[in-house]
Amino acid sequence: MTSQIILHQPEPEKIIKHSLNNSITVIEKLHKRLITKGFHFLRNYNIDNYTFDFYCPKLKIAIDIDGYAHEFSDVYNQDMLKKLHIHSLGIVVLKFTDHQILVDIEEVFRSLKHQIKLSENTYVI
């Protein structure tokens, strides 16, 4: 007789709720670090029908922090529509996972600084 291990998969709603609750803490952490390092981003900024965790209108850079919920295909498909629309407006979206912010926030800032340099060079007259 063989035994089977049945893994219980949490319901997507519970995963999404858990992810949202934990991402709030991550957003707070990133927000404090942005302020400390002198970056000027608006928080929870709406562009058309989409909300970004952070946005800098001057540089047209948005930051989105994604949790586990963004791995579901329906959420991923919605994100693609958002990405296409926002890109058509000339806005660059930097996407980070909450895990990246918790584990290696300095790499997040290296990516952000790199994009700021690119954006500043784009808008030089």
What tens digit of pLDDT does each residue of 63-115 get?
999 865 444 455 556 677 888 899 999 999 999 988 889 889 999 999 999 99
Average pLDDT over the chain, rounded to whole?
Answer: 79
Domain count within the chain: 1
Query: Does the structure show a pLDDT above 90 at 33?
Result: yes
Q: Determine what percent of the chain is predicted with pLDDT higher than 90.
A: 47
Please indicate, yes or no, if residue 63 is contained in any of the structural domains.
Answer: yes
* Cα distance between residue 60 and residue 81, in whole Å: 18
Q: So what's the pLDDT on residue 25?
A: 84
pLDDT tier, 21 (very low <50, low <70, confident <90, very high otherwise): low
Whether residue 46 lies inside any domain: the answer is: no
By residue range, what is the domain housing residue 59? 52-125
Neighbour tally for 125: CB within 10 Å: 2
The answer to whether position 34 is within a domain reads: no
For residues 58 and 86, give the distance between their C-alpha atoms in angstroms, rounded to a whole number: 15
In a domain, 28, yes or no: no
Give this prediction's pTM. 0.71
